[in-house]
Structure 1
């Protein structure tokens, strides 16, 4: 169907955007049948907006819920929720249509949380997933101490803080509890910085008792080999997965760092690349031959056409950069299933990379640099998995016989 004919058959406020949207769907790798369904959805939505005397400002989940409820009542098998509008909304934003502004709020609690999110993004440089979790803990704390007039932290006591810290850890595992306590400390420091409290209440938050048995748990090299060998590199999807796995297993990159890798981050001539790490820290690492060959093979033979600058893209429409660390976990789930082994997390492969570097004789300082730890103390935990190597690092006990 030609763009002119496509536009002529649509009425309503979306009519002028249909030709460009159809071309965008093709660019993003949608099949003809999927693109046709999207176009039909936009046609019906545009007519509904016109009939209801609504404009593009109402293109929100709440504003279009009645439209999708009608689709569900009619027994539609797909595109039944406002999430179906994601491709259209992304196209409209790129076309210069401003995003509808959320209705202004006067709720003091919501305003406080919005200020806190802004602080976490701007001042702390936290990634969006961490911002959401920290804001969630902040909302729980605010609810636990709020009065009838909204959030007032000036009279919060150390006892209330300790009581909340205990309550928020109930039902959580050790790692999750520690994250919640870290989020609480962050909030209390922010409150003092903002002037909401006078006392340094973060000092009233005790650390979570507990420990991980056995230290870092590296993956057996034989299992890593099976994991990598499970990828059929004749297939573009598994060519991508192989490159992802090599980055995780050989260099110990975090899942988010693999997702964030961009084409311009790799300097092929110098043989190194930039890692976009935690807290917006950018650091340059060497690119080993095995890792470089895997990434180059994907870029040459497996990466779909796209104007995205991300190295690793979705294999199916819409073709764009991987959405987050969940995509990396999916890569590992598929590889583990093919290899017939239990699921291995990205962080265990990070442990594995560190352990193998240690066993190969790399000094702790070099491993600390590769893993981008802030302290060599963190890296030294990996020495515990290799007793022979640990003996070479141990210092003599004071006063012991020479």
Structure 2
């Protein structure tokens, strides 16, 4: 008697057929090396099998799997499956592995290809010749992209005809769309840098930096916008500590709030920067400077908890990495996203990570520390950068206030 009769059999394991069948082991090995969970690897392999079967039925060769065909396959999956976001995510992983291995063609830039090529050259110049940090290069290239996108196509011909009038017109138009004076200042600074590079590289006929109008704004015309201790406490308690990502986010916020670091400096922290025995942490600041700071107990305990309990095991050397594979170092943009999420959960208006730096400075000053000590904590190279915090020292300012004239209007 066949005892197997009547039993419910599980699904028959799929065997990959079609043009992608030789690369299943490549996909598994690559995703495993990147730290993907077993279930994620299985999902990606299933997606590769479906893609390979679809290609086989349409008699598509590997070199025919261009972006248009990938979108066509996604449209097919939408027709037979409702979980398109999951399908797109798994398919994206498969395509990335295949493209990195040279199995299928990479997308050919269209339209903005000339702009992207110029920005790549400009970014290399900023890193190699100017020595800018990665976050600064990203910001400069982002602003430069706005300027270049406003020029007529083809780009090369437009650059040869570029004159002062067009430069001024583009800047004025984009500056009116900026949400703050500092955003407009960032735009004009980046465009001046771009124009210097274009002239040195021989892409524009004359130096046009003088055609970039200045933005009206004064260094000490506003107060530093710090937070109250209650608001800082609300931000620090906002992340969900039941999840690894929440524990990571809290460690980031505590580091920002207690050390007064910039967002890019937190993103750049490496595991080797923390000296647990000496109780110090090395910070890569502006101008590629590396400075050592004392590691407060609260920051050390929070970092140790994240590193031992929540940080994924991976080859990345950064302290803060993504919560899901492939595990990569967080960027300054990611740090800003962490701050935005905390603001939303704490019921506060969205603000940048720099607000916690201002909050630390104003708290120290109001506790009685002199301005030079505040500058040391914030690692200012110039005391002029610290003078703005004198405006929030109300106790010291009262000694400078003139008495109200007797009998004057009240």
TM-score, with structure 2 as normaliser = 0.77
Q: Match of 1:302?
A: 310
Q: 1:270 to 1:388 in 2, by over 3 A?
A: same
33, 36, 40: which one pairs with 2:46? 40
273, 290, 293: which one pairs with 2:301? 293
Q: 1:81 to 1:167 in 2, by over 3 A?
A: farther
CA drift of 1:348 comes to: 0.8
| Aligned-partner Cα distance in 2 for 1:383–1:98 | 61
Q: Match of 1:139?
A: 148
335, 355, 361: which one pairs with 2:342? 335
Contact map agreement 2:274 2:282 (CA 8 A) in 1: yes
Q: Match of 1:53?
A: 60
| Aligned-partner Cα distance in 1 for 2:185–2:318 | 32
Bigger drift between 301-310 and 12-21 goes to 12-21
| Aligned-partner Cα distance in 2 for 1:86–1:269 | 43
Bigger drift between 21-30 and 371-380 goes to 21-30
Q: Match of 1:387?
A: 394
Verify: 1:130 aligned to 2:139, yes or no.
Answer: yes
Q: Match of 2:278?
A: 270
Verify: 1:257 aligned to 2:265, yes or no.
Answer: yes
| Aligned-partner Cα distance in 1 for 2:309–2:370 | 37
69, 84, 93: which one pairs with 2:75? 69
CA drift of 1:247 comes to: 0.7
Contact map agreement 2:114 2:155 (CA 8 A) in 1: no
CA drift of 1:194 comes to: 1.6
340, 344, 355: which one pairs with 2:362? 355
Q: Match of 2:197?
A: 190
193, 205, 210: which one pairs with 1:203? 210
| Aligned-partner Cα distance in 1 for 2:244–2:121 | 44
| Aligned-partner Cα distance in 2 for 1:349–1:77 | 40
CA drift of 1:297 comes to: 1.4
| Aligned-partner Cα distance in 2 for 1:102–1:192 | 31
CA drift of 1:220 comes to: 0.5
| Aligned-partner Cα distance in 1 for 2:154–2:327 | 46
Contact map agreement 2:269 2:319 (CA 8 A) in 1: yes
Unaligned runs of 5+ in 2: 1-11, 401-410
| Aligned-partner Cα distance in 2 for 1:103–1:197 | 27
| Aligned-partner Cα distance in 2 for 1:61–1:384 | 56
Q: 1:289 to 1:117 in 2, by over 3 A?
A: same
Unaligned runs of 5+ in 1: 395-402
Q: Deviations over 1:112-136 (max 9, x none)?
A: 4443343234334343632541331
Q: 1:165 to 1:225 in 2, by over 3 A?
A: same
| Aligned-partner Cα distance in 1 for 2:365–2:210 | 37
Verify: 1:28 aligned to 2:35, yes or no.
Answer: yes
Verify: 1:284 aligned to 2:292, yes or no.
Answer: yes
Verify: 1:243 aligned to 2:251, yes or no.
Answer: yes
Contact map agreement 1:304 1:319 (CA 8 A) in 2: no
* RMSD between aligned residues: 3.8
Q: 1:333 to 1:200 in 2, by over 3 A?
A: closer
Write out aligned runs for 1:172-187 (5 A).
Answer: 172-174=178-180, 175-187=182-194
Q: Match of 2:404?
A: none
Number of residue equivalences = 381
